[in-house]
Amino acid sequence: MIKLIAGLVSNDELILKRFNGISLGKITHLPDYNIRQGNHTLFLSSMKRHEFMIFRYGMAPSGAKEDRIIFEAPVEAPWRTIHDEHILKKDIIMSPDSRKQIRGQRGLMPVDYFILESDHEPYVVFMRDRRRPFALGCIWDAWKKNILDDLTYGFAILTVPAYGTFRKIGIKRMPLIISEHDYREWVNPDPTIMGKTDLMDYYPEKYLNAFPIAREILTSTENSKSLVNPVGEMLFKDEKKDQGLIQYKRRKGKEFDESKPTLGERTL
């Protein structure tokens, strides 16, 4: 399985703007550049779909035959040797680890970016128009190790086979991105799977971009902006937008290194 890492550094105002109608409750969100397996982070679940909660990245699936934690749940089974980039098979609805959760225990993980390892180096992947945060499709569960323990709430990120340019650079799997207009439907606890499977699909590559970063992120547990500094060029070059940003910064009298990519109005 992939070791998926993500970051959420947007402030509360921007998070609430993107998730209109959702409350942070009493949560004080702090920027996190390095959300990895076992960490706790903001999560919107079908259990409390109008308010963010704090969930653990990692889930003990009820109904599984053994006591274990899963971090990713494949929509299309990894054992398939041939992947159709136009038709995503929904094997998840029959998986022992996730067939219960995908029907009524779905959730959203808000992120500004996620990080995937390619054949050569990790890549920070984000929205090409710099729109953030966006949301990864997840399933969740609650469990306790001992009868006297409090419940632990955790989630697993749904994944799909890598496609397009991302597959060509050696990325094997990617997280499932849920479109913004489908957020409410995705966290609707209605257990009817019909209609929910339509929301599980490849996210159009034309809306994504990425740049390479140092391999240190793969092993570091530090919460540091330096971990996601670019070490190479954008995967997809948008010359018109880049030139507009350069001219804007020059008018403002700011230094700008044209050789380095940026996430836009607020760099990481």
The domain that holds 74 is classified in CATH as 3.90.1680.10
What does DSSP assign to residue 198?
Answer: G
* Most distant pair of Cα atoms in the chain: their distance: 63
Which segment of 9-23, 31-45, 164-178, 252-266 scores lowest on mean pLDDT? Answer: 252-266
Query: Which of residues 244 and 110 earns the better pLDDT score?
Result: 110
The number of helices, as runs of H, and strands, as runs of E, in the chain is: 5, 13
* pTM for this prediction: 0.86
The secondary structure of 57-123, three-state, reads ECECCCCCCCCCCECEEECCCCCCCCCCCCCCCCHHHHCCCCCCHHHHCEEEEEECEEEEECCCCEE
For residue 113, give the nearest of 201, 177, 200, 203 by alpha carbon.
177
Q: Domain total for the chain?
A: 1
What pLDDT is attached to residue 255?
A: 47
Structural domain includes residue 102: yes
How far, in Å, CA of 74 to CA of 109, rounded? Answer: 16
22 contacts 51 by C-beta, under 8 angstroms: yes
What pLDDT is attached to residue 241?
A: 56
When pLDDT is cut at 50, 70 and 90, the band that residue 259 belongs to is: very low
Structural domain includes residue 205: yes
How far, in Å, CA of 107 to CA of 12, rounded? Answer: 19
Which segment of 15-29, 53-67, 127-141, 225-239 scores lowest on mean pLDDT? Answer: 53-67
How far, in Å, CA of 39 to CA of 154, rounded? Answer: 10
Structural domain includes residue 108: yes
What pLDDT is attached to residue 190?
A: 82
When pLDDT is cut at 50, 70 and 90, the band that residue 23 belongs to is: very high
What pLDDT digit, counting tens, does each position of 152-161 carry? 999 999 999 9
Q: Length of the chain in residues, anyone? A: 268
- 3-state secondary structure (DSSP) of residue 251: helix
Residues whose CB is less than 8 angstroms from the CB of residue 25 and which lie 6 or more positions away in sequence, other chains included: 51, 52, 53
What pLDDT digit, counting tens, does each position of 189-235 carry? 887 787 888 999 999 999 999 999 999 999 999 999 999 999 999 99
When pLDDT is cut at 50, 70 and 90, the band that residue 240 belongs to is: low
User: Has residue 67 got a pLDDT over 90?
Assistant: no
When pLDDT is cut at 50, 70 and 90, the band that residue 248 belongs to is: very low
Structural domain includes residue 225: yes
How far, in Å, CA of 101 to CA of 156, rounded? Answer: 10
Residue 55, both tokens: 């969930």
Beta bridge partners of 226: none
Structural domain includes residue 261: no
Structural domain includes residue 34: yes
* Average pLDDT estimate for 108-129: 95
Structural domain includes residue 242: no
User: Has residue 268 got a pLDDT over 60?
Assistant: no
Q: How does the average pLDDT of the chain come out, rounded?
A: 86
Structural domain includes residue 267: no
User: Has residue 60 got a pLDDT over 80?
Assistant: yes
What pLDDT is attached to residue 246?
A: 43
Q: Domain range spanning residue 47?
A: 5-234
What pLDDT is attached to residue 251?
A: 54
User: Has residue 244 got a pLDDT over 60?
Assistant: no
